[in-house]
């Protein structure tokens, strides 16, 4: 059994594992894929102190750093259920999809999130070649170009406002007949000269020249007519889905499925901590996930030294 079992091997999990191991406690990591979302990222320019790097490079150094320590890393393993301890300080159980059960006195959930995709033709082909999901990350790559934002919720309108300061023109496509974004954001977006908002627009295809995005096609849901928009970038902002399905009914989640984490990374279950994109942390970024992982590992250590060993 472990003292600290980290579920997830992204930036939050890697950071938590290092902080755990440095306390000299038995630390394990279960991860479906080491590196998490970072493995899918091209350029990273906001990981402070590293001017520019690439996802796979950062993943390699993350893994190298974790392997410096005595951490038991189990990759290609998916957690499928969590069972709280019988008594405080007792063993918490994490069930794996392969049928095995791993026990630990504390568990740190860092299973991250995934962007909700449009599921239209061309989206996968042009992912990273014009199709983007993170305006903070990729916005500057489209300086002076025309882009679309798919989705008119808070994240979509925020993205449009953010991008409008960098790019030439932003077209927002909203599927329904209302914008769900806060009124103040809508007002701000409407006051900017280079944002157009199209309602009742169903994106049907990402268009490209084989190398990069050149436009998109959408259907006006009111008239049924199809239109093409010429542009170089498409930011998909239709939601970030936390990887927390396996936790339903155990730790407390928000209505969007994010784990509710306190100041120490604590969750509603004693001995269970959480960090990174799977939690209700408002901003989802690598540097934030790493800080949260360190914070929650220290929270777990505090819990361990204050509870009786089984």
Q: Does 152 bind ligand FAD (CB under 6 A)?
A: no
The phi, psi pair for 195, rounded to 5°, reads: -120, 125
Residues 175 to 194 in contact with ligand FAD, rule: CB under 6 A: none
Q: Does 13 bind ligand FAD (CB under 6 A)?
A: yes
308 — alpha (psi -120 to 50), left (phi > 0) or beta? beta
Q: Is 9 annotated as a binding residue?
A: yes
| Residue 137: active-site member | yes
Part in contact with ligand FAD (CB under 6 A); list of ranges 56-64, 112-120, 159-167, 218-226:
112-120
- Please say whether the beta carbons of 114 and 241 come within 8 A: yes
Question: In the complex, what is the shortest distance from the CB of residue 9 to ligand FAD, in angstroms, rounded to a whole number?
Answer: 4
Strands (E), 61-120: 71-75, 79-83, 92-96, 101-109, 113-115
Q: Does 104 bind ligand FAD (CB under 6 A)?
A: no
Measuring CA to CA, which residue among 22, 56, 63, 60 is closest to residue 42? 56
CA distance 200 to 226: 12
Q: Which is nearer to ligand FAD, 66 or 189 (CB)?
A: 66
Which H or E run includes 135?
helix 135-138
Q: Is 17 annotated as a binding residue?
A: yes
| Residue 182: active-site member | no
DSSP string, 139-201: GGGGTTSEEEEE--SHHHHHHHHHHHTTSSEEEEE-SSSS--S-HHHHHHHHHSTTEEEESSE
Q: Does 137 bind ligand FAD (CB under 6 A)?
A: yes
Which of 2, 17, 167, 284 binds ligand FAD (CB under 6 A)? It is 284
Q: Which is nearer to ligand FAD, 271 or 293 (CB)?
A: 293
Strands 240-242 and 113-115: antiparallel
| Residue 302: active-site member | no
Which of 6, 25, 38, 172 binds ligand FAD (CB under 6 A)? It is 38
Q: Does 41 bind ligand FAD (CB under 6 A)?
A: yes
Question: In the complex, what is the shortest distance from the CB of residue 97 to ligand FAD, in angstroms, rounded to a whole number?
Answer: 8
Question: In the complex, what is the shortest distance from the CB of residue 41 to ligand FAD, in angstroms, rounded to a whole number?
Answer: 4
Distances (CA, A) of 200 to 112, 163, 175: 31, 22, 5
Binding residues for FAD: 3-18, 267-277
Footprint on this chain of ligand FAD (rule: CB under 6 A): 7-13, 30-34, 36-38, 40-41, 44, 46, 78-79, 110-113, 115, 133-134, 137, 243, 246, 276-277, 284-287, 289
Query: Hey, which residues are catalytic here?
Result: 134, 137-138
């Amino acid at each position: 059994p472990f003292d600290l079992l980290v579920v997830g091997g992204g930036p939050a999990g890697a950071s938590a594992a290092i902080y755990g191991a440095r306390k000299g406690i038995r630390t394990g990591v279960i991860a479906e894929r080491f590196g998490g979302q970072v493995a899918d990222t091209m350029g990273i320019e906001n990981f402070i102190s590293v001017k520019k790097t690439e996802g796979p490079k950062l993943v390699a150094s993350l893994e190298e750093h974790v392997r410096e320590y005595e951490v038991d890393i189990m990759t290609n393993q998916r957690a499928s259920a969590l069972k709280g301890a019988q008594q405080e300080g007792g063993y918490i159980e994490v069930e794996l999809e392969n049928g095995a059960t791993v026990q630990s006195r504390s568990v740190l959930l860092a299973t991250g999130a995934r962007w909700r995709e449009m599921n239209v033709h061309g989206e996968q082909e042009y992912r990273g070649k014009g199709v983007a999901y993170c305006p903070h990350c990729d916005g500057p790559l489209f300086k002076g170009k025309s882009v679309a934002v798919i989705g008119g919720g808070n994240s979509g309108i925020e993205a449009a406002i953010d991008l409008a300061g960098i790019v030439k023109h932003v077209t927002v496509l909203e599927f329904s007949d209302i914008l769900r974004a806060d009124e103040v954001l809508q007002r701000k977006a409407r006051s900017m000269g280079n944002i157009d908002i199209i309602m009742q627009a169903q994106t049907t295809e990402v268009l490209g020249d084989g190398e990069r995005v050149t436009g998109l096609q959408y259907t006006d849901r009111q008239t049924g007519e199809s239109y093409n928009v010429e542009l170089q970038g498409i930011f998909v902002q239709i939601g970030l889905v936390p990887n927390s399905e396996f936790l339903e009914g155990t730790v407390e989640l928000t209505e969007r499925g994010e784990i509710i984490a306190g100041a120490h990374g604590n969750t509603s279950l004693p001995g269970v901590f959480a960090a990174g994109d799977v939690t209700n942390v408002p901003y989802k970024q690598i540097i934030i996930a790493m800080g949260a992982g360190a914070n929650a590992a220290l929270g777990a250590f505090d819990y361990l030294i204050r509870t009786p060993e089984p």
